[in-house]
Amino acid sequence: MLSFLPAMTEEVTYANLKFENSHQLDNFTEPKDTKEKGPPTPSRSCWPVVLILLVLCLALLTALVTLAVLFFQIPKHYRTELTDLNMTKNELHANFSNMLQAIGNQLCLEGEKTLKNNGQNCVLCPANWKWEGGDTCYYHSDEKKSWEQSHRFCSSRNSTLLLIKEAAKLELVKTFPRKIYWLGLTFRAKERNWYWADNTTLTEEQKSWARHINSLQCCAYFYYTEIYSQAFKEELHYICEKPAVQLERGSNHWQEDWFVRPK
């Protein structure tokens, strides 16, 4: 019995020692990594975008440089042509001014007194056109045409068929030699309304002297004192009208010159 005790004591001591070491290992924690992490490296996916932007900037810069070179290096013959054009413009202006003075002197000062508008202010109309007062010239046809033919004739002379849009114009037309003329007034089926050749509609006042028009006969004509409608194939006389050239005489550098009166 005595010989067994020392051996047993050694086993207990060894077991306690092993248990304590095991407990200490469980409580032991690994040391923290004291090294700081560096900033993340840029992603490689951004490089294509950067490259495209760089190429666009270079292309834009190249274009600007090219434009600058073209702008500041104008060929000599272009500058010569520009100078010649300016000289031609000045010559044309001088020739027009001289022609205007001759026309004004001959037609407005020395012309036929029957024109009734000779003087310091006068109205001029083309050959075969008549001035009936106001600021308009009229062409009275000798032949009869359909409305479409009449319209084409007037348009080829930079004019329109006769327009009667004011009461004063109505009274003037009543004094014309012939009493029946095509007018620049037609019915537009799409808009279901009557339109003058200048694209204005027939007003309520104008309808008072156009009581005899109807949409079944799409073209209008003037007869004595009122407006009627007729089929466009019918042939009638016609009158064209256009703005007259109005001249006035005024001072220019201490001398009297003719000028085209502004409208």
| Residue pLDDT, tens place only, 46-93 | 777 677 777 888 888 888 877 776 666 666 666 677 777 777 777 776
Structure confidence at residue 83 (pLDDT): 75
Structure confidence at residue 25 (pLDDT): 44
User: Average pLDDT of 94-111?
Assistant: 65
Structure confidence at residue 84 (pLDDT): 73
Structure confidence at residue 241 (pLDDT): 96
Least confident window among 64-68, 103-107, 136-140, 206-210: 103-107
129-145 confidence digits (pLDDT tens): 998 878 899 999 999 99
pLDDT band at 155 (very low <50, low <70, confident <90, very high): very high
Q: Is 254 helix (H, G, I), strand (E, B) or coil?
A: coil
pLDDT at 118 over 50: yes
State which of 67-81, 94-108, 184-198 shows the largest mean pLDDT.
184-198
229-243 confidence digits (pLDDT tens): 998 899 999 999 999
pTM of the model: 0.58
pLDDT at 12 over 50: no
pLDDT at 1 over 50: no
Structure confidence at residue 70 (pLDDT): 66
Q: Walk me through the domains of the chain, giving residue ranges and CATH numbers.
A: 90-125+244-263 (no CATH), 134-243 (3.10.100.10)
Q: How many angstroms separate the CA atoms of 67 and 62, rounded?
A: 9
Cα-to-chain-centroid distance, residue 31: 81
Structure confidence at residue 170 (pLDDT): 93
Closest-CA residue to 179 (of 230, 221, 232, 117): 221
